[in-house]
Amino acid sequence: MSDTARLILEGQEYEFPVLTGAENEKAIDISKLRGTTGYITLDPGFKNTGSTQSGITYLDGENGILRYRGYSIEELAEKASFMEVAYLLIYGDLPNSDQLAYFTDSITHHTLVHENMKRFFDAFPLGAHPMGMLSSMVASLSTFYPESQNPNRDITDIELTIHRLIAKMPTLAAQAYKHNVGLPTMYPKNNLSYVGNFMHMMWGVPAEDYEVDPIIESALNKLFILHADHEQNCSTSTVRVVGSSQANLYSSVSAGVSALWGPLHGGANQAVIEMLEAIRAEGSPLQSWIDRAKDKTDSFRLMGFGHRVYKNFDPRARIIKKAADDVLGQLGINDPVLDIAKQLEEVALHDEYFVKRGLYPNVDFYSGIIYRALGIPTDMFTVMFALGRLPGWIAQWKEMTENREPIGRPRQVYTGATQRDFVALNNRS
């Protein structure tokens, strides 16, 4: 079989190398295309464009396969802790017990944020969206830790920055929540697990001892693992592109938080619950919502359905659906919104429009329901996603840095006006 691709342009033939990935995925290497032919490729939304060669996450959208560093998402969600998965993503292998102890200990001891950051929170209006606050706060960390700004990227500085960021994100996320609802912030507690400490900072109050509920802790651990990486998605590509200019890790991840916020990406988990609640409140038949989603003159889409790469099923959605059932059962919660979600899924899965386009429930369809059952406020859903996605963003930023990838800078096909002469103001019609 040929390991080159031939392209004929204006009667001339060019050859380009074909690459084969570890799982047999094929790519045509067009990195020399413009230099040799003068042409560029046009691919809005990068639907067919590989931006990098990466050894972190393998995703087969047709067969619903997702693996971090070779380990299946099903096994990791069942058997691993979020700290193990973070280590695996960032350093490439599962940690042994000494490595895990060192990593966890270092993160536990960097959870405090500078007291001056409290003043930033004070300046945000009450009810400010936690994603806006989180993105600003993560970028602000770079001003407190100037060594993170060194573009020469000393390995020790990078390690420290990585540990600080993993440690401080839950603190900032919980502070954003407390500010949003006007409650006093809680300081971290070093005797708790990563997830348990976050729960304490979210739901603890100074007047009482907070007891970590193991059912909620275990569910959050699983949710964080399921969200931990997803190869070159919108927010991760953002982190890599921002980092490719040698911007520091805090700024790069802050940009990732902003990219995640949009309702077509991580913000979909909030949008799903809002949609389900609207369906419930309105009481109109489900079919009318489905009809609206199919109507091209209506901008309404079924939130939580469809995915750029999964055209069969999203393996994370399967695990979360089961976890949602388990957690609601364990906590004795009967959520009518879950019933609406199940009915909607049933209708959509059998409707020709959705079947033909491969529009299945994605990770966000059920994550909102489980977050709700765990007592997470709707505004915080996307923040939960960001906490889970953090190790992936870091791993991808680190890989991009270590591979010395060039600055990300796409080209364009210009469609504006051709050159024209300036017209003086009094001569313009």
> Given 122, 364, 379, 421, which residue is catalytic?
364
Return the number of the residue (213 or 231) whose C-beta is nearest ligand ACO: 231
Sheet containing 71-72: order of strands: 57-60, 65-68, 71-72
- Could you tell me the smallest distance in angstroms from the CB atom of residue 265 to ligand ACO? 4
- CA-wise closest residue to 30 among 42, 17, 20, 43: 17
C-beta closer to ligand ACO: residue 162 or 387: 387
Given 307, 326, 335, 379, the catalytic residue:
307
Helix (H) or strand (E) holding 6: strand 4-9
CA distances from 54 to 45, 233, 259, 392 (A): 19, 13, 21, 12
105 part of the active site: no
What are the tokens at 345? 């899924």
DSSP class per residue in 165-199: HHHHHHHHHHHHHHHHHT-------TTS-HHHHHH
| Cβ distance to ligand ACO smaller for residue 204 or 361 | 361
Comparison of 153 and 301: residue with beta carbon closer to ligand ACO? 301
Q: How far is the CB of 191 from ligand ACO (least distance, A)?
A: 33
SS3 41: coil
Collapse the DSSP code of 8 into the 3-class scheme (helix H, G, I; strand E, B; otherwise coil) and give the result: strand
Binding site for ligand ACO (CB under 6 A): 45, 264-266, 268, 293, 301-308, 357, 359, 362-364
Nearest distance in Å: CB 213, ligand ACO: 27
Among positive and negative, which fits the CA dihedral 393, 396, 401, 405?
A: negative
Q: Tell me the helices (H) and strands (E) count for the chain, helix number first.
A: 18, 6
Nearer to ligand ACO among residue 47 and residue 428 (C-beta) = 47
> Least distance from C-beta 252 to ligand ACO, angstroms?
19
Is 163 considered catalytic here? no
Q: With contact defined as beta carbons under 8 Å apart, do 90 and 394 qualify?
A: yes
| Shortest distance in whole angstroms from residue 311 CB to ligand ACO | 9
Q: Which residues are catalytic?
A: 307, 364
